[in-house]
Structure 1
Amino acid sequence: MHIATTHRNTDFDGLASIIAATLLYPGTVAVCPKNVNPNVHRFLSLHKTSFDLILAGEVKLEDVTRLIVADTNQWRRLDRVDQLRDRDDVELLLWDHHLGIGDLNPHWQCVEKIGATITLLVREIKAQQIDLTPLQATLFLLGLYEDTGQLTFSSTTPEDARAAAFLLEQGADLNIAVDFLNMAYGEVQKKVLFRLMRDAEQHEIKGKRVGIGVVHISRHVELAMVVQLYAKIVNADAVFVIFVNEGGGFFVIGRSSAPEINVNTILQRFGGGGHPGAGSATITDKQLTAGVIRQKIIAALHEVQRGGALVADMMSFPVTTVPPDAPMHEIRRIMEEEKIRGVVVEEDDRLQGIVVLWDLKKLRLTKQWNSPVKAFMNRKVTTIAPEALASEAADLMVQKNIGHLPVVQGEKVIGIVTRTDVINYLYGMLPS
């Protein structure tokens, strides 16, 4: 067995590097430490079933013959692989960008002074002409951006920038990357954020929460990160902030996480633009005031038509269902044969519960496999309607940390949304 792992409190660079290792070393399994950073945890709550990824506690160490370590050179930072330390029959490979002295003694290593470890692996991926999926490219960009401060840290090298360009060419999604990154800000930004928190208005427009603020500024300062952070703090679907320059004129920044609120479309009315999720506009018309601009933005938001894919467009069907008295060994057989991770439990066409692959791992005794599924199923099932937006399903699965979302019409289950369906939606892989 060949495994790739990284340090505890895993960041995006560590996670990206072990996933990249599975591409460079076919047959390798990525092993994720139990403790990960909060932003990585949020990412994995939605994406974990999209990768060949297991937890450290699931590894049978006696079967390991190759250990690939990424983004650390110290044994103490690894999670539950100490038994491999003194094994002469285990080949140890190291990928790292930390030049400090460590206690790993690898048989082979690639250690260089560079902005992020993932950059080193991307170099080899390019050399081997391995094509990436948009999801893989986005994760790798997350690792690169996090460790280089989005290419602004002094440790950033030209190769980091070239790697970022390659990942964008491979389909990395900047909007998704930015959403999962924690953005740093200084004292000036803190003051701007405080004013936004204190004075910005909250509006409910077509079922979406929109924050609209006006802030006076006396000098140039990086503002995009403040707007992004404000949107996260107030948990708004979209925010628009009007910055009033001391010398006259206005600068508007918009951010949106809702497909039906297109920032580009709205800010084009002011001579600006950008992307559906992010944009800006510089307004020099002296006839306008901040209040008028705010009202024009609100009017534009009310005019926006409902758009984006619906749950009905992305759900999987027909749904595999079983009765409450079906034995657990039958559930296991169905999951293995149909290659699925969850089964819906129904009785008289009414939803009773759901059992997922993780529930099967809880069975310790042989006799438990003859027990009915109703003894192990989850009875508190989160569901969604077919007319709900696909983005709502994605948000719900992240909030609840669930991998299966039955689609219910009336009392009948007509489909199911899985993490795979959400990934296809997020990365534009739904059939046209």
Structure 2
Amino acid sequence: MDINKLEEIIKGHKKFVITTHANPDGDAIGSVIGFYHLLKSYGKEGKIISHSPLPEYLLFADTGNLLEWYSPGKHDEFISQAGVVVCLDFNNISRIHSMEQAVRASSAMKICIDHHQLPEDVFEWIYSDTLASSTCELVYRVIKAMNPNAFNKDAVQALYLGLVTDTGSFRFDRTTPEVHRMAADLIELGADMMLVTRNIYETGTLGRMKAIGEMITTMQIYGDKSEIAVIHITRDMLNRYGMSPEDTEGFEQYMMMINTVKVGVKIVDLKEGFKSSLRSKGAAEVHLIARKFGGGGHKNAAGIPKLFTPVDSFITEIVGEIKKYLSESKNEENQ
């Protein structure tokens, strides 16, 4: 991380666009809010602009109503005039969907802080660490190195949210001692641990709980040793239980509670097509499988963007790819 170069970039420009991937999660919103307050501590003008609005369960984190839902008429001029576009928690411009054209057309310098693999070659400054637990971990390091005074209450609350959500409440294997120390530091600086807990884990509706029950009973298991689980949240289920696709966040964990399951696949119907997310345990690298379907992500958590193929065909194809991957991985271990 060339912190001196980043400080030079910040000091040398006035207007900054701060953005993150479509359908932002806790790490996305935490990192953009944290970086916004870093820019503010330098007296800079920053706008957080996103392709997607915040899901309802994350609204509590944006106490200043900083995130603006992208509208070409409202934002394209600012994007074209900005000196820097800051890309957080994604490393390919296509991940910002409707904003992509405006960002690519802008002469603004593009910089990136992210923990995903295979960054696009468009960034003039990048801080990428694929071993990090979250982008919030990286933004925390940046603020700590550049200006700890930027750790105000809103910033530390947002960064703590990102640490919690992207580590699965400190359960995933990238949860290092350093991450625990960061969390403790953020709490000491004013992050409200229980506020995050209540909003992330204790605000589910009765409809959501009923949907989880139906999802579990309709879960499909594949493989000679029941190593693969697939759940499909249909449009009918979403309508019956009054849910949006974003309300299925976290459903993956129920597949991974099964002791034999190594890889889980969640499929969620959209208004048109569907999207999918993958989870795994141990050495299984699901980002390799996701890439075959136009997606990507991390070793144990990956996503596949909107697809329009028949769901049954997709299940057959992806289960086949997972079986092949697990078989090849087992053969390599035995060599």
TM-score where L is the length of structure 2: 0.49
TM-score where L is the length of structure 1: 0.39
Looking at both structures, which has the greater relative contact order when contacts are Cα pairs under 8 Å and sequence separation is at least 6?
2
